[in-house]
Amino acid sequence: MSLSVLMDSSSPTILLHPSIEPRDETGSVLFDPSKLQKQSSLPSEFIWPCGDLVHTQEELNEPLIDLGGFIKGDEEATAHAVDLVKTACSKHGFFQVTNHGVDSNLIQAAYQEIDAVFKLPLNKKLGFQRKPGGFSGYSAAHADRFSAKLPWKETFSFGYQGLNSDPSVVHYFSSALGEDFEHTGWIYQKYCEKMRELSLVIFELLAICLGIDRLHYRKFFEDGNSIMRCNYYPPCNNSGLTLGTGPHSDPTSLTILHQDQVGGLEVFINNKWYAVRPRQDAFVINIGDTFMALCNGRYKSCLHRAVVNKERERRSLVYFVCPKEDKIVRPPQDLMCRSGGPRVYPDFTWSDLLDFTQNHYRADVATLQSFFPWLLSSNPTANF
């Protein structure tokens, strides 16, 4: 199956019953799983093209990296981790890490706390809905942004500023959801702090893999403003016709994901989809578009998706690592000197790419390729 087939826009042939799904005053579908599950047919907005729905039973053989030895400075363990990460990032950009330093009780608490948010009545969740052009808040199937190929999921997102001593996550939960969720805010404040610590460790490992100053990427991302997203994928009677998240590559720099044991994350490699096995003690790491630019295309930002289950709900916790908005994204000079090749991508800032994906473009496999012509048209003096 070629990528052109995968991205085909044709829809499956299916008979639809008259639409009875809940809608808002603008006519947009309201994602209320309790009501949608009672319908015999799936609303057309949730039906994806046949090429995107190809099923897989094969698992991705991504490496499982034990970070314990690397964190302690063990040379043999570091060399082994470097070999595994180099290979994975050159092929597809996905690997998993264990002994990462994040307490399992904190991970479990994060799931328990966010369950309470997703179980709120729909009208309450819509009270802290994401604002147009922003990323913080609740989203029901992204129906506020798109009208077709809607994902079968709910999300709750918010920002995290790593060098800010102010507990910004706690303040966001208290102001957006109310004082009853202050404890939830503290759990996620701690969770984001641990995600930041883990991301900086991984950036050191990636720098060693690329043969540059070990601290280069760590310093670049230390003052970054990252994004935390919690995903809830309800069961779907017509799970074979829809997706929880459509095929895309992440526009951010690095993604740190924990998925529950239901599974659903899949990666597209060599014209085939492969499932990523859930591991309770591991985080899934994948390279994003921004880091692909930061390493001049040496490591891959790979197409991936999330499928939904017919009988079981699925949850995941995703931390998107981003640089500070005004930092110039360009590969380090010592990497360019070592490789001797030309620049693959022009300079840009994360704020420009974030604006592009939030207001002008739906992230897919061609986000970066589409971003640069837009950037040039909006800023003719850009350094191309």
Catalytic residues: 314
> Rounded to an integer, what distance in angstroms lies between the CA atom of residue 291 and that of residue 287?
6
Q: How many residues does the chain have?
A: 384
> CB-based burial of residue 1 (10 Å sphere; 0-12 exposed, 13-18 middle, 19+ buried)?
exposed
> Rounded to an integer, what distance in angstroms lies between the CA atom of residue 237 and that of residue 39?
9
Closest residue by Cα to residue 152 from 229, 279, 237? 237
Whether 60 contacts 269, CB under 8 Å: yes
